[in-house]
Amino acid sequence: MKNWGYSIHKDNQIDLDRNDTSVYKALILVEPSIARCISCGSCCATCSSGEYTSLSFRKIMIQISRGETKDLYSNLSQCMLCGKCILVCPRDVNTRNAITKLLQILTTKN
Amino acid sequence: MAESKKIAVIGGGIAGMEAAGNLVNLGFEVYLIERTNRLGGNVANWYCLFPDFKPSSKVVEQLKPAIQNKVQFRFGAEVCKTEKKGNKHLLHLNDGEVLECDAVVVASGFSLFDAHRKEEYGYGIYDNVITSADLEKQLAENHTVMTTQHKAPRKIAFIHCVGSRDHKVGNAYCSKVCCVTGVKQAIEVAKMHPEAEIYSFYMDLRMYDRQFEDLYMEAQTQHNVRFIRGRLSECFENADKTILLKAEDTLSGKPFRLSVDMVVLLVGMQADQSLKHISDMFALKTSDDRFLSVADVHTSSIYSGVEGVYLAGACTGPKSIHETLNSARAAALSTAIYLNQN
């Protein structure tokens, strides 16, 4: 393709008027404890997988609530379901169940 | 018995009412000077209170019996000038009356931040941008909230820290009660409009007191209030009178946009303009935040440092109702101890 010396950037903005938050809405019905998340990050700090991969439960909660689901499935697949995150969560979020339910929702969706 | 000593309480809000009531109870003669024609100050303009949704009018009513027919009220009155005569303070009122007092309790309160000053938020420009005080007024009058076009709002955003923690407007301090007020109002609106989506834009959520954290949890779990960490940069009005919000979603690290039917600005507290005049008259010190300084923030937070002048309520900085009333009782007790020793 001809190089005109400029390129067009993809919009980096989160547009909640257009984004589809149905995954979050489906998850909160089957695992209501995710509403309690305050993004403290203790789940990620204790996560064995997160030390080596892009898995971050905190980020996933924020992303799905904003309808941003890019790379979600591959990130989730890094989870070893060890459950350490449940032990450290100060708000009693059932993190491991949220991940398994989220994988189910995404599998049924696609 | 010797003639009872006289005290002037400046301000008829809840701090002044509580201080006056306690001083009357302790056997003193009290003048209550209030510039408007009613009692209760800012609290009388509110609908319900955190954390238990008690109607604010009930608080004002509860404070009345201790002062009615016991205190000498001076409504529509302001102190223009003061003089010292020995240990006594002579207070010249705007109607020419001169009150001779042995002690003074300043309980002049606060005023709310004028949201017009944050022009980028569009208050006074866009129809559906209101303040937390406007919302309380709507709730008190109609027991519900509607957009200016008389529609039930489907999306509402609460904006925290408007006029607080903001060097640009000269208010660097935290007003401390707006966080929980925002959560309380979000719950009230959610109960009235269960189908509505409610968003809350915050920098920090300072749930510092008993039961505040419970309210925050209730907002999250019972009413699905969505908390977005990021300070609103600006508002725009769409053609259909909805409001487009632009902020940074700091937890995603991305810019964020959202249209809502209604924006509620959680305005902070600031020193009332009259406080400058009061501090000049009595030679009281003020701090950088323009509220009155206290003799010692730990051990003497209700004493001005000027003999015979005590401080009650939000004239020494933002306070919740129970903090205000406790400071008023403390100011009354310290005044009584001072007068009994002199």
Strand partners, B265: B131, B159
Q: Is residue A39 part of a domain?
A: yes
* B255/A68 touch (CB, cutoff 8 Å), yes or no: no
* B224/A35 touch (CB, cutoff 8 Å), yes or no: yes
Q: Is residue A77 part of a domain?
A: yes
- Selected for mutation to probe chain B from A37, A59, A62 (highest B CB count within 10 Å) is A62
Model confidence band, residue B2 (pLDDT cutoffs 50, 70, 90): low
pLDDT in the model for residue A3: 86
Domain count, chain A: 1
pLDDT in tens, A11-59: 889 999 999 999 999 999 999 999 999 999 999 999 999 999 999 999 9
* Closest B-chain CA to A63: B252
Per DSSP bridges, beta strands B54-55 and B48-49 are antiparallel
Q: Is B85 helix (H, G, I), strand (E, B) or coil?
A: strand
* B258/A28 touch (CB, cutoff 8 Å), yes or no: no
In chain A the first and final C-alpha atoms are separated, in Å, by 33
Q: Is residue A15 part of a domain?
A: no
* B251/A14 touch (CB, cutoff 8 Å), yes or no: no
Q: Is residue A99 part of a domain?
A: yes
Q: Is residue A6 part of a domain?
A: no
Q: Is residue A16 part of a domain?
A: no
Q: Is residue A93 part of a domain?
A: yes
CATH of the domain at A30: 1.10.1060.10
Model confidence band, residue B1 (pLDDT cutoffs 50, 70, 90): very low
The C-alpha of A1 sits at a distance from chain B's nearest C-alpha, in angstroms, of 31
* A35/B252 touch (CB, cutoff 8 Å), yes or no: no
pLDDT in the model for residue B11: 98
What per-residue string of b and e applies to A55-86 under the rule 16 or more CB within 10 Å gives b? bbbbbbbbbbbbbbbeebeebbeebeeeebbb
- Contact of A67 with chain B, judged by CB distance below 8 Å, is answered with no
B-chain residues near A65 (CB < 8 A): 226
What is the domain extent for residue A27? 22-105
What mean pLDDT is predicted for residues A59-66? 96
Residue B35: both structure tokens together: 């510039």
Q: Is the Cβ–Cβ distance between B187 and B200 less than 8 Å?
A: no
Q: Is residue A91 part of a domain?
A: yes
